[in-house]
């Protein structure tokens, strides 16, 4: 399981890739999460905007979901990955109201592990 995950918005993949070893630092507003798997979390968030549900999706539905986040930099054995959110999710997050984001966060955070 991943430990520290930092979400930030970069203007393009090249800029995002440049943060690989140093992190986004103060160059970008960021949110740090702990103990989540970023790719499955991102897929669940994308699924929520397509078909909102308070229930966790079945694993077979989750693993079949497309598109999954894409690597901006190749994964190495150091545990550092830079991923790009699917454009559909980026648009959905940008258009979401505060209430929709709070609903998503509430549903996602209260799911059993």
Question: Does residue 3 register a pLDDT over 80?
Answer: no
Angstrom distance (rounded) from CA 12 to CA 69: 15
Q: What pLDDT does residue 70 have?
A: 92
The pairing of beta strand 4-8 with beta strand 30-34: antiparallel
Instruction: Select the more confidently predicted residue: 110 or 51.
Output: 51
Q: What pLDDT does residue 88 have?
A: 93
- The angle, 0 to 180 degrees and rounded to 10, between the axes of the packed helices 38-50 and 87-95 is 60
Quickly state the pLDDT bin for 1 (edges 50, 70, 90).
low
Q: What pLDDT does residue 46 have?
A: 92
Instruction: Select the more confidently predicted residue: 35 or 18.
Output: 18
Distances (CA, A) of 104 to 23, 31, 85, 92, 101: 26, 16, 16, 12, 5
Question: Does residue 21 register a pLDDT over 80?
Answer: yes
Give me 97's structure tokens. 């109201």
């Amino acid at each position: 399981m991943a430990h520290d995950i930092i979400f930030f918005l970069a203007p393009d993949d090249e800029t995002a890739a440049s943060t690989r070893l140093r992190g986004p630092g103060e160059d970008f507003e960021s949110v740090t999460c702990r103990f989540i798997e970023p790719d499955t979390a991102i897929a669940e968030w994308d699924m929520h905007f397509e078909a909102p549900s308070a229930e966790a999706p079945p694993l077979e539905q989750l693993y079949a979901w497309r598109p999954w986040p894409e690597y901006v930099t190749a994964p190495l054995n150091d545990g550092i990955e830079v991923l790009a959110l699917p454009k559909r999710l980026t648009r959905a997050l940008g258009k979401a109201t505060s209430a929709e984001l709070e609903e998503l966060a509430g549903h996602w955070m209260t799911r059993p592990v």
